Amino acid sequence: MSLRGDVCLVTGACGFLGKRLVMLLLEEENMAEIRMLDKHVEPQFLKTLEDCRGDTKLSVFEGDIRDSDFVRRACRGASVIFHIASIIDIKEPVEYNEMYGVNVRGTQVLLESCIQESVTSFIYTSTLEVMGPNSKGEPIINGSEDTIYDCTLRFSYSKTKKEAEQRTLQANGEVLQNGGRLATCALRPTYIFGDGCRFLLYHMGKGIENKDVLLRMSLPEAHVNPVYVGNVAVAHLQAARSLKDPQIRNAVGGKFYFISDDTPPVSYSDFNHVLLASLGFSIQKKLPLPLCLLYVVCFFLEILCRMLQPFIRIVPPLNRQLVTLLNTQFTFSYQKAKKELGYNPRYSWEEARKRTIEWLASQLPLERERIRANR
């Protein structure tokens, strides 16, 4: 099922995933219009789209996703929404009210606008972290959508993303202003990597500061399965096609899907090394402290920060939940998305790795210069 002639809105269009999705839509679908919603849409990004836009109209909507009038204007006349925008925060420097406002309230504003403006399809970009891991660090190996896992979410990020996902799926089947029905689904990508990934750039910078030795914060056996950004964009396109297809729309609507690919399972820290080893980086052999001691240090840091909170807000560089996240085996299959959405990873691990390393190589001199200038 093609999206030819459709009007779509992409929130977070200038983010890591948003840019890839906009490019993919221009390359593969002769859409009537693509609306790019973000707090700021970079002129340079718009220039890169000129050669591949064809007859598709590109519209820019700069503003706050919590502004209902603004969002409603952006949704007017659209047929599909790709909702990618959110605040991503695992160290928790962002105030909870701000994160809740963007991640939950912003999603609710979009859903309400869809109903008011009779938008028929809504794809929500969720995250693996709505699943866990739990505070015990209980592993999941090759999990599926049917996996039962006991977890009380502790990160503000994962809690707000979970609530936003639930609201999205609960909105499936809502009656639209024109009498139609809204169809929704949620995608839960594993750790997204690729050319343009700011997390990889961050770890490269830390490695440069440490004399080209990458910091180890994950046990080697704590395997996760990263997913290439290009494949996540493909999954979003397939979800939109599925929600448009009247034969499978009802079967897909109201469901969530894990999105991974054929990237070999590896720990977070070792994955950084896999991508940076050819650029001259080595990696620490051991954690900076034994895992149990690392938890104790984080516990006392958290207590200290709470005691100081009435006077000053200090964010510890590490917390127990982050240590758990980095050291829990947590892998998931994409087979249900393959079966029901028709999702197949387009980029092999070899190609994804090559593209990512080439981008990191292009950024390495800039990072070295930036760090040199800041010393």
**Residue (of 48, 115, 40, 56) closest to 81 by Cα position:** 115
Distance CA 355, CA 196 (A): 10
Question: Can you tell me whether residue 80 is helix, strand or coil?
Answer: strand
Paired tokens of 315: 């964010």
Is 31 within 8 Å of 240 (Cβ atoms)? no
Distance CA 245, CA 161 (A): 27
Residue 96: CB atoms within 10 A of its CB come to 13
Distance CA 121, CA 128 (A): 22
Stretch (H or E) spanning 11: strand 7-11
Is 16 within 8 Å of 196 (Cβ atoms)? yes
* Contact residues for 226 (Cβ-Cβ < 8 A; gap 6+): 190, 191, 192, 193, 263, 266, 271
Q: Let me know if 157 is a catalytic residue.
A: yes
**124, 157, 191, 347: the active-site residue:** 157
Output b/e per residue, 137-172; b: 16+ Cβ within 10 A: bebbeebebeeeeebebbbbbbbbbbbbbbbbbebb
> Which amino acids are annotated catalytic?
157
